[in-house]
Amino acid sequence: MLKPRKTHHYIRQALKNDCLRAAVGKATDLAVRKRQDLVNETPYWEDLRHHVHHLKSKVLENPEQSLMTFEARCIANGINVHWAEDAAEARQIIVDLAAQKKVKKIVKSKSLTTEEIELNPALEKAGLETWETDLGEYIVQLEGKTPSHLTMPALHLSRYDIGRLFEKKLGIEYTDNPNELLQVARQRLREHFLSADMGISGVNFAAVEEGAFVVIENEANAHLSISIPKIHVAIMGLEKLIPSLSDLPYFLKVLAPSATGQKASSYVNIIGGPQQHLMEEGPEEVHLVILDNGRSNILADASLRETLFCIRCGACLNICPVFRQVGGHAYGWAYMGPIGATLIPLYNGLSEGRYAPFLSSLCGACFDNCPMRIQIPKHLLTLRNRIAESGKTMLIERVGMKIWSMLAVRPRLYRFITGLAAIVQQLIPFDKAFPAPGYVRHRALGRMDSKGFRSRFMDSEDRREGGR
């Protein structure tokens, strides 16, 4: 599994990989263009953004009350509700359930929460045959890696990579024809759907009023994972609540364009309990695992609770100049891109996630593209401050900032030192005139201005005074 503290290493690897950057650039360009076309066609887009933000604020204003009501309604509907305080407890609940029910094979539909809790390795360790059924997730599972995007898990691979992967792992003849590859995956997965004892999915939205949860998808694999096996287990972060199913259309209206540039998602599965009659479609048993894993602390933090409004659409990733250069694995965790950069330290702690909030140019494009109006740049700055205050930054940075703050309050000394540095720099006979570790591996910093900002500023003030 990737680790956020190894971010530097992952970034170096990503920057060396031109194929990865080409694949990421191509896919994100298309997603950005398609989203923008749909937003342009929707004159009330900004109103929608405000409205969904308001709905989420409302339901998470009193999370305990909302969760208690949701649980009670789920139980009344025949859904078995389990609470997991952390990732380990969530994994254990699912592994124990599978053991109790004598499950041998599991089919999974795409779920970032299961990536967050590292469920697959736990299921495999318990001897459970587990298959991802979303095409992108299936490819990533065959590759032995984790998703590199919130909505496009295999974004880092080209069709040639996938052709070689299928040849090696599935023993088929090499082809890079997307249709042929799709047919192979479909054939293999069909066998698994029909023989699985348990289905596992994530949850996109959980409606408090009705005690029902919603799974959104485009491939019908979630529908098959939910409806064919006798037992269904869904796992949701406790922030997935929405007030009611009557609010769902607003979220659907912003989700599909932001996620895949579609007007609407192909399938919206609403699960409000197990099948009631023998001839009905659906699982005989439904279990819902509600995961905390640090979310309560985030909800209690007034300045950062808004980060939990995320609906995992991926629009902020597609537009982010940093993500577009390095892809999702560089962030070292299940969530990536601008929203990942805020969630990584929040879920993993400031020490483990200390590099993530710095993976941003703070250009603000993520906020402009976020359908939930999450002020990501502001939250990144809050986290940067907290990391700096807790002393988790690099030693060289801490020493540098100490020296700078010492000089900044002594203007004469500051002018003397910077003037001296500019003179010394003029004498250094090479282009990389001000070597800084890491940074100049890819670019020169340029020479310091020998005259200095202050003298230029004073000159311009003098000129202005003279002109009056």
Among positions 91-150, residues that touch ligand SF4 (CB under 6 A) are 150
CA distance 226 to 233: 8
* Smallest separation (angstroms) from ligand SF4 to the CB of 207: 18
**By CB under 6 A, how many residues form the interface with ligand SF4?**
15
Specify burial of residue 28 (Cβ count, 10 A radius: 0-12, 13-18, 19+): buried
| Closest listed residue to residue 156, CA positions, set 258, 28, 33 | 28
Query: Using the rule CB under 6 A, is 340 a contact of ligand SF4?
Result: no
* Smallest separation (angstroms) from ligand SF4 to the CB of 117: 19
The residue (of 19 and 30) whose beta carbon lies closer to ligand SF4 is 30
CB 308 within 8 A of CB 298: yes
CA distance 92 to 235: 13
The residue (of 151 and 269) whose beta carbon lies closer to ligand SF4 is 151
The residue (of 103 and 370) whose beta carbon lies closer to ligand SF4 is 370
Name which position in 154, 369, 379, 383 contacts ligand SF4 (CB under 6 A): 369
The residue (of 282 and 328) whose beta carbon lies closer to ligand SF4 is 328
Name which position in 311, 320, 330, 387 contacts ligand SF4 (CB under 6 A): 311
Name which position in 316, 320, 341, 356 contacts ligand SF4 (CB under 6 A): 316
* Smallest separation (angstroms) from ligand SF4 to the CB of 316: 3
Instruction: Report the DSSP pairing between strands 231-237 and 285-291.
Output: parallel
The residue (of 162 and 366) whose beta carbon lies closer to ligand SF4 is 366
* Smallest separation (angstroms) from ligand SF4 to the CB of 317: 7
Total Cβ atoms within 10 A of residue 409:
8
Query: Using the rule CB under 6 A, is 256 a contact of ligand SF4?
Result: no
Query: Using the rule CB under 6 A, is 374 a contact of ligand SF4?
Result: yes
Query: What are the phi and psi torsion angles at 320 (to 5°)?
Result: -75, 125
Query: Using the rule CB under 6 A, is 353 a contact of ligand SF4?
Result: no
String marking each residue 258-287 x if it binds ligand SF4 according to CB under 6 A: x-----------------------------
The residue (of 98 and 372) whose beta carbon lies closer to ligand SF4 is 372
Query: Using the rule CB under 6 A, is 339 a contact of ligand SF4?
Result: yes
CA distance 247 to 74: 18
Query: Using the rule CB under 6 A, is 312 a contact of ligand SF4?
Result: yes
Of how many residues is the chain composed?
Answer: 468
Query: Using the rule CB under 6 A, is 372 a contact of ligand SF4?
Result: yes
Packing angle of the helix pair 178-195, 135-143 (nearest 10 deg): 90
Candidate segments 7-15, 64-72, 275-283, 314-322, binder of ligand SF4 by CB under 6 A: 314-322
State the alpha helices, DSSP H only, in 41-86: 45-61, 63-76
Q: With the CA atoms of 248, 254, 255 and 260 taken in that order, what torsion angle do they form, in degrees rounded to the nearest 10? A: 150
Q: What letter would DSSP give residue 306?
A: G
* Smallest separation (angstroms) from ligand SF4 to the CB of 58: 17
For residue 261, give Cα distances in angstroms to 38, 47, 174: 7, 19, 31
Name which position in 136, 202, 272, 314 contacts ligand SF4 (CB under 6 A): 314
The residue (of 142 and 343) whose beta carbon lies closer to ligand SF4 is 343
Instruction: Report the DSSP pairing between strands 198-201 and 231-237.
Output: parallel
* Smallest separation (angstroms) from ligand SF4 to the CB of 16: 27
Query: What are the phi and psi torsion angles at 2 (to 5°)?
Result: -70, 155
| Closest listed residue to residue 236, CA positions, set 213, 267, 270 | 213
The residue (of 286 and 308) whose beta carbon lies closer to ligand SF4 is 308
* Smallest separation (angstroms) from ligand SF4 to the CB of 375: 10
State the alpha helices, DSSP H only, in 133-247: 135-143, 159-170, 178-195, 221-227
Sheet of strand 241-242: strand arrangement: 241-242, 205-207, 212-217, 267-271
Note the residues at the interface with ligand SF4 (CB under 6 A): 150, 258, 310-316, 339, 369-372, 374
